[in-house]
Chain A
Amino acid sequence: MSLSLPEVKRIAWLARIEITDAEAGAAQGHLNDIFTLIEQMQSVDTEGVAPMAHGQDVVQRLREDRVTETDLHALYQGIAPQVEGGLYLVPKVIE
């Protein structure tokens, strides 16, 4: 397989990373090299093998339904790019 330039641009858009044509061209080359490596996976038959998502076969531990957090928004917003009236500001959200 190989990635086309429009595909590289589409995934860059999905990932919200601005990419120039030159960058997309360079990325295309690298990605295709990497996918050549990745394609080696297709050489083995994994029919019937259960996918493994975690290193340990354990199940989710549950937390009791209790409020344990206190208001630290002033601390957290001290490192925010732009805040006003306790709100994080972003360019206008259009619904």
Chain B
Amino acid sequence: MFNASLKQLSALLAQKKLSSTELTQSYLDRVARLNPGLNAFLSVDAERSLAQARAADERIAAGKAQPLTGIPVAHKDIFCARGWLTTCGSKMLANFVSPYDAHVVEQLNAAGAVILGKTNMDEFAMGSSSETGFRGPVRNPWDRTRVAGGSSGGSAAAVAARIAPVAIGTDTGGSIRQPAALTGICGLKPTYGVVSRYGMIAFASSLDQGGPMGKSAEDLALLLNVMAGFDARDSTSLERPAEDYARLLDAPLTGDHAKPLSGLRIGVPREYFGEGLSGDVAAAVEATLAQFEKLGATRIAISLPNSGLSVPAYYVIAPAEASSNLSRFDGVRYGYRAAEYGDLADMYRKTRAQGFGAEVKRRILIGTYVLSHGYYDAYYLKAQKIRRRIAQDFAAAYKHCDLILGPTSPSVAFGLGAKVSDPVQMYLIDIYTVAANLAGLPAMSIPCGFGEGGMPVGLQLVGDYFAEARMLQAAHQFQLATDWHLRQPAGTE
């Protein structure tokens, strides 16, 4: 059952072979058993989850079920959910019980999904290893001495360890895709504006995007169907007709069933296979590209000349926005306030010094600096111009290809603590992922093999704006022909 797809679980629920209450309880049991070794969940509230499950059962009984009704979903602790502790991995919000629901949470609740719990993450989503959260690091289910990636590492580890059927995460510079790659699952960051950011605690507003995480492309499509949609409360939410992201999954591009991806042009950027890419990852990705060709896709060499500047530009823009977004955590209206302080400025300074962890403070300082008087043009404006060039690179590439394929991360999961003291090394992990955020493009990661130490390798697919359904189709067709996505870490049976 814990390897079942959403479709299979829905069928079991619809046929009354399984109730949502039973399903939820069995996942809660698994969480209780396996989570202590993984630290994937920050909070579980069995009573709340089971109440939702019972409501879902009634709904199913009344014949009003939707595709996700009764399905437990793990929520990254960045999504505000009414009545749930919502900490964003920070001591600053250690006691923050959200008084409202994020749009995504509303949508999932309305669909009858069950909140299984809130998952661990890098503090305020700032990190690529899920080690910076105030409740300690997430451990990779494939090797508990290694990181699960970040910042949505808790959601990734939960799905990988089969302690949640699916999960939701957020991606500002790779925070869905990179942990998905490092834990051997699938994750998708939609086109900017497809999923409402309302109620998603902001890291970098112009880059943040919520998205689905799961075992297969098909599961992602079903989850994205519920997460996506216009929301008037988010000015950047796009008003467009509702889309069924699963509609193309089983619709091959041509009638040739042996070559379902015939006609698909996959662009392979030269810059993604250069210095810095580990040999094991390169080998797995190369093999996967060959598999795509076998399925009928055509490989086209492309260039994204400004790729090398995406990390520098990202580490100006994201901290700049973050430094401002995190100013609201001041100890006045909610969250942590220092126990002892003198005057008002002292209250602010102690509250923020004690409430934020080292990486968050570091990024606030970077952001404050690049926006400060005399540096704005040299850093922030320059980064915005490079951002334009990066977007233009993609636009030029999509004249010649439909999807861009490459590695999600330059290496497999690294050891816990290996990079926390070297921020630059940590930031360079995002080298293949941040460009999609800067350009606002949809991007996903799917498992595509194993590398050093038997650790999973992820393949990244980057599409043109609103190409989610096309990407999911390509991934699904690949997954019909391969079984990387079905591999389960040892010790999670």
Q: Do chains A and B touch in the complex (CB under 8 A)?
A: yes
Which A residues are closer than 8 A to B by beta carbons? 3, 7-8, 11-19, 27, 30-31, 33-34, 36-44, 46, 49-56, 58, 60-61, 63, 72, 75-76, 78-82, 88, 90-94
User: With A and B bound together, what is the CA distance between A11 and B334 in angstroms?
Assistant: 24
Cβ-closest 5 pairs across A and B: A55-B440, A51-B384, A55-B192, A46-B385, A18-B353
Which B residues are closer than 8 A to A by beta carbons? 95-97, 99, 191-193, 206-207, 232, 235-236, 238-239, 306, 308-309, 311-313, 315-316, 323, 330-337, 341-350, 352-353, 356, 361-362, 364-366, 368-370, 372, 378-379, 381-389, 391, 422-424, 427-428, 437-441, 465
Q: A39-B312, A40-B309, A63-B232 are in contact. Are A52 and B368 (CB under 8 A)?
A: no
User: With A and B bound together, what is the CA distance between A49 and B391 in angstroms?
Assistant: 12
User: With A and B bound together, what is the CA distance between A93 and B40 in angstroms?
Assistant: 42
Contact: A79 with B334, CB < 8 Å?
yes
| Chain B residues whose CB sits within 8 angstroms of the CB of A33 once the complex forms | 422-424
Contact: A17 with B343, CB < 8 Å?
no
| Complex A-B: 7 CB contacts under 8 Å | A11-B365, A13-B349, A19-B353, A33-B423, A39-B312, A53-B206, A92-B344
Identity of the chain A residue whose Cβ is nearest the Cβ of B342 in the assembled complex: A91
| Chain A residues whose CB sits within 8 angstroms of the CB of B384 once the complex forms | 51-53
Identity of the chain B residue whose Cβ is nearest the Cβ of A41 in the assembled complex: B312
| Chain A residues whose CB sits within 8 angstroms of the CB of B332 once the complex forms | 80-81, 88, 90
Contact: A11 with B372, CB < 8 Å?
yes
Contact: A34 with B353, CB < 8 Å?
no
| Chain A residues whose CB sits within 8 angstroms of the CB of B312 once the complex forms | 37-41
Known: A17-B353, A18-B349, A56-B465. 15 other contacts (CB 8 A): A11-B369, A18-B353, A34-B424, A41-B383, A44-B309, A51-B387, A55-B440, A55-B441, A56-B193, A61-B232, A75-B99, A79-B95, A80-B334, A81-B336, A94-B343
Contact: B385 with A52, CB < 8 Å?
yes
| Chain A residues whose CB sits within 8 angstroms of the CB of B423 once the complex forms | 30, 33-34
User: With A and B bound together, what is the CA distance between A72 and B98 in angstroms?
Assistant: 13
For A79, give its contact among B97, B309, B364 (CB under 8 Å): B97
Q: Write the nearest CB–CB distance from B40 to chain A, whole angstroms.
A: 26
User: With A and B bound together, what is the CA distance between A8 and B369 in angstroms?
Assistant: 9
Q: Write the nearest CB–CB distance from B84 to chain A, whole angstroms.
A: 12
For B235, give its contact among A37, A50, A61, A79 (CB under 8 Å): A61
